[in-house]
Amino acid sequence: MALTLERKFILSTLLVLGLWASEAMSRTLYEASMSERHEQWMADHGRVYKDNTEKEMRFKIFNDNVQFIESFNSAGNRPYKLSINQFADLTNDEFQASHNGYKIPSHPRLSNATPFRYENVTAVPTSMDWRKKGAVTPIKDQGQCATDGTCNTKKEASHAAKIGGYENVPANSESALLKAVANQPISVSIDAGGASFQFYSSGIFTGDCGTDLDHGVTAVGYGTTADGTKYWLVKNSWGTSWGEEGYIRMQRDIAAKEGLCGIAMDSSYPTA
Ligand SMILES: *[C@@H]1O[C@H](CO)[C@@H](O)[C@H](O)[C@H]1NC(C)=O
């Protein structure tokens, strides 16, 4: 049965109105549920804002981060996942500012004359996990020195000063780093400033990151996944809710000699 032109017009107008209303409705529902998620997140992380203006500003950032994380995960084209964590109300700039304190390497490179004690190592195990050998202390939490600029760099420095001495791993060589990590946990420097690093949750991290070293971590092992991806097992200091119980597995043996996020650029090991 043919509809009259007038009826067609009325029907399509109703349809458009209906769509518009349901879109507005679902947007409102989305915002309401996002606001609930923000409230819940604030409770979980003990976050308190000084006033509503700050809360609205933080909510907007939280919302943007959740959307970034969810679209990253649903794209599913990377071997790692992101998740909402304690950094979810920080912009990536704020996150970087709160974790850098490391722009200058913590120690000078030693002269080339200093021997690399593992240089003559010829065979290394196919995998290593120093945690299983009881050689790794529990994960620390540097704390939220985010936003308030109270990052304790002195504490880190005095910690380093307790070490009797140190030797460098030859720079820009993942194979040298491998020899070293096969023998002991190694302090490494990385570029940890990217948004994907900020929200890393699990899997093999493949970037994005540059080589602007801004963070000190410890390589405590290495291995290869079932699908053949080689990785470094890296201990971070952002608490156990970040990454894989406080650890990250970072892709190993990449084309660039600096290693992923510059992991092979500035490594050292304590010599007691
Ligand atoms: C490695 O082997 C060479 C050749 O035998 C030797 O001269 C060098 O001292 C060795 N390096 C170390 C750190 O033991």
First and final C-alpha spacing in the chain: 92
Mean per-residue pLDDT of the chain: 85
Encoding tokens for residue 36?
Answer: 């609930």
How confident is the model at residue 192, as a pLDDT? 93
Q: What is the mean pLDDT of residues 22-28?
A: 74
Segment 38-82, tens digit of pLDDT = 999 999 999 999 999 999 999 999 999 999 999 999 999 999 999
Distance CA 268, CA 160 (A): 11
Say whether pLDDT at 87 is over 70: yes
How confident is the model at residue 111, as a pLDDT? 60
How confident is the model at residue 35, as a pLDDT? 95
- 119 pocket-lining for ligand 1 (C-beta < 6 Å): yes
How confident is the model at residue 104, as a pLDDT? 44
Question: In angstroms, what is the span from residue 118 Cα to ligand 1's centroid?
Answer: 9
Backbone phi, psi, residue 212, to 5°: -85, 85
Nearest CA to ligand 1 atom 2: 120
Instruction: Work out the percent of the chain whose per-residue pLDDT is above 70.
Output: 81
Q: What angle do CA 267, 185, 224 make, to 5 degrees?
A: 95
CA torsion sign, 75 to 80 to 83 to 86? negative
**In the structure, what pLDDT confidence band is assigned to residue 126 with cuts at 50, 70 and 90?**
very high
Q: Which of 120, 122, 169, 271 to mutate to test the pocket of ligand 1 (most atoms within 8 A of CB)?
A: 120
- 18 pocket-lining for ligand 1 (C-beta < 6 Å): no
Distance CA 226, CA 210 (A): 27
Of 259, 85, 118, 90, the C-alpha closest to 189 is 259
How confident is the model at residue 157, as a pLDDT? 41
Distance CA 92, CA 114 (A): 39
Q: Which of 119, 122, 168 to mutate to test the pocket of ligand 1 (most atoms within 8 A of CB)?
A: 119
- 120 pocket-lining for ligand 1 (C-beta < 6 Å): yes
How confident is the model at residue 145, as a pLDDT? 43
Encoding tokens for residue 248?
Answer: 């990250």
Distances 193 to 37, 76, 90, 199, 200 between C-alpha atoms, Å:
25, 22, 12, 11, 11
Atom of ligand 1 lying closest to residue 120 CA? 1
Of 131, 151, 147, 148, the C-alpha closest to 139 is 131
**In the structure, what pLDDT confidence band is assigned to residue 28 with cuts at 50, 70 and 90?**
confident
239 in Cβ contact with 246 (< 8 Å): yes
Question: In angstroms, what is the span from residue 120 Cα to ligand 1's centroid?
Answer: 6
Distance CA 248, CA 143 (A): 18
- 140 pocket-lining for ligand 1 (C-beta < 6 Å): no
| Least confident among 17-26, 31-40, 76-85, 170-179 | 17-26
Encoding tokens for residue 210?
Answer: 């540059």
Distance CA 220, CA 205 (A): 16
Segment 134-184, tens digit of pLDDT = 888 888 877 544 844 444 444 444 444 455 678 889 999 999 999 999 999
Higher pLDDT: 201 or 212? It is 201
How confident is the model at residue 100, as a pLDDT? 61
Atom of ligand 1 lying closest to residue 119 CA? 13
250 burial class (0-12, 13-18, 19+ CB within 10 angstroms)?
A: buried
- 78 pocket-lining for ligand 1 (C-beta < 6 Å): no
Say whether pLDDT at 199 is over 60: yes
Distance CA 225, CA 229 (A): 5
Say whether pLDDT at 108 is over 70: no
Atom of ligand 1 lying closest to residue 116 CA? 13
How confident is the model at residue 22, as a pLDDT? 74
Model-level pTM? 0.83
Question: In angstroms, what is the span from residue 69 Cα to ligand 1's centroid?
Answer: 49
How confident is the model at residue 114, as a pLDDT? 73
Nearest CA to ligand 1 atom 6: 120
Question: In angstroms, what is the span from residue 185 Cα to ligand 1's centroid?
Answer: 22
